Amino acid sequence: MRWLLALFILVAFAVLLRIYFNLRKVKAASVRDDWDAQQISHLRSLGSDPFQPHEVDFFFGLPSEPACQALRGNLEREGFAVDVKPVPQAVDQPFSLHASKTMRLSVPDMQALSRRFSELAGSHGGRYDGWSAGVVPHSSSPPAH
């Protein structure tokens, strides 16, 4: 009878741990999604037109040169321009990968890219550090019909 009680307690503990870690994952994704929306909102407040193409820069920290080359290959096949630089003072991620591509800024698209880039960086032992873009003013010419 004691072993049954111990088993019940163990299973309950495992269920609670799973719930806790799933909630943390959901919260982290929500924070990342909010950041993308806030970044686009900030660019709009500065007068940027998200419907115009922007040069968007994406940043990654990676643990090794082979990880950089693997990620570089993935990104270049998708049309990103990529450069890699060693960052000797960064102990945990001593390589910085910068990718850029011209694209329009939509919140759902940028959120999807951020989620995918986080997973992609993680699969190479690294991290995705986010993106940035400059202000692209509204076009002064009337839209084409």
Q: Residue ranges of the domains in the chain?
A: 11-133
Q: What angle do CA 39, 45, 51 make, to 5 degrees?
A: 70
Q: Evaluate if pTM is beyond 0.75.
A: no
pLDDT digit string (tens) for 33-78?
599 999 999 999 999 998 999 999 999 999 999 999 999 999 999 9
Q: Read off φ and ψ for residue 90, nearest 5 degrees.
A: -90, 105
Q: Which CATH architecture has domain 11-133?
A: 2-Layer Sandwich (3.30)
Q: Read off φ and ψ for residue 78, nearest 5 degrees.
A: -95, 10
